[in-house]
Amino acid sequence: MPHALFLHSWLTKNKIKDNSIKEKRELRKMHLTETVIILAIAGLVNAAIMIMAAAAFNAHHADIASISDAYKTLVPLFGIGAGTIFIITLLASGISSSVVGTMAGQTIMEGLLGKKLNVWVRRIITRVINVVPTTIALLLGLDPLNILVYSQVVLSLLIPLPMIPLVILTKNKELMGEFVNKNITTIISIVFVAIILTFNSYLLVNTVQIR
């Protein structure tokens, strides 16, 4: 999620106490270890989701068009335990996504405004932006699964917005000092940004042609 990039940077920055090089080195190592572990777990979870979906929702269940349909299909195939885990996972995902979105909104507002607002004012504003559009869409009868898919598409299209400045800033030695990215890191980052931009461009062009 593009807004998570802002939030991760903000959380790391707020861990700094005495602003010494030694402390920054230690925090960098901790942040790197934490990121690798979290992304590894996320990768395993995503792989498990894809494998389970391929096994459960194959050609024999190609008519599944909503989350409730997926739940009803899982129960007879894998038992009530699988259905329960599916629902709990969705709930946990929704809660964590909402928390990340709200905290990222507070962080971005604080950074763009250049000053701190009352914490409750920030929370109310970001919560309204986070929740109200989705609530309106549900009240209008839009399918939750379609809302989820479209939201992921929008997030994918927005990812380059924070990634491109991040690549530019982290290769600037005057700004980063000894923490500047190595050339190989910058090259790999540029390659991945280019891949994402290519996929997003293909998606947009393909969608326009279909319509």
Would you tell me how many other CB atoms lie within 10 Å of the CB of residue 33?
10
Instruction: Name, in order, each residue with C-beta under 8 angstroms of 5's C-beta and a sequence gap of 6 or more.
Output: 162, 163, 166
Of the two residues 15 and 117, the one the predictor is more confident about is 15
Provide the pLDDT for residue 191: 94
Provide the pLDDT for residue 178: 84
Is the pLDDT confidence value at 58 over 60? Answer: yes
**Contact in structure between 23 and 125 (CB atoms under 8 Å):** no
Confidence of residue 188 (pLDDT cuts 50, 70, 90): very high
Is the pLDDT confidence value at 48 over 80? Answer: no
Mean pLDDT in residue range 20-46? 85
pTM of the prediction?
0.67
Is the pLDDT confidence value at 184 over 90? Answer: yes
Q: Where do the structural domains in the chain lie, given as residue ranges? A: 2-142, 159-211
Provide the pLDDT for residue 62: 59
Is the pLDDT confidence value at 28 over 70? Answer: yes
Confidence of residue 63 (pLDDT cuts 50, 70, 90): low
Residue 61 CA neighbour count, 13 Å, CB half: 18
Provide the pLDDT for residue 17: 81
Is the pLDDT confidence value at 93 over 70? Answer: yes
Provide the pLDDT for residue 165: 87
Helices (H), 114-182: 119-139, 144-158, 160-170, 173-176
DSSP one-letter code for 188: H
What digits encode the pLDDT tens for the residues 113-163?
Answer: 666 667 777 777 777 777 787 788 878 887 777 777 777 788 888 888 888
**Contact in structure between 73 and 61 (CB atoms under 8 Å):** yes
Helices (H), the chain: 2-13, 21-56, 67-78, 80-113, 119-139, 144-158, 160-170, 173-176, 183-210
